[in-house]
Amino acid sequence: MKYTQNTLDKLEAIPEEAGYVLRYERGTFQSGYCILEAKKVVVLNKFLQTEGRINTLIDLLPQLDINVDALSEESKKIYTGIISKLESEES
């Protein structure tokens, strides 16, 4: 995966299409993010550069409750690719 702003935009679209609000804010996040499940809010460390934001979103996506049917075709393709890659790494 390329570490470009375009890639970041595509990854940010996935939780947004699933009803989550993405916010970049300052804080002491051990993992670079914080999930507020009840409000469907994801807070990411605003000091991360593009590569860090992309890696954080890739780590974060499997933890979110995402309805794949609610995603656009492009987002669905990216999301399923990330999930299948992570599952194959665990095997």
What's the domain count of the chain?
1
Measured CA to CA, the distance from residue 50 to residue 63 in angstroms comes to 21
What would the mean pLDDT of 73-89 be, rounded to a whole number?
93
DSSP for residue 26: -
pLDDT of residue 87: 85
The whole-number pLDDT of residue 37 equals 76
pLDDT tens, residue by residue, 14-64: 999 999 999 999 877 777 888 887 899 999 999 999 999 999 999 999 999
Helices (H), the chain: 5-17, 50-60, 73-90
Say if pTM beats, i.e. exceeds, 0.75: yes
Structural domain boundaries enclosing 85:
5-90
Q: Which of 28, 29, 91, 38 is nearest to 59 (CA)?
A: 29
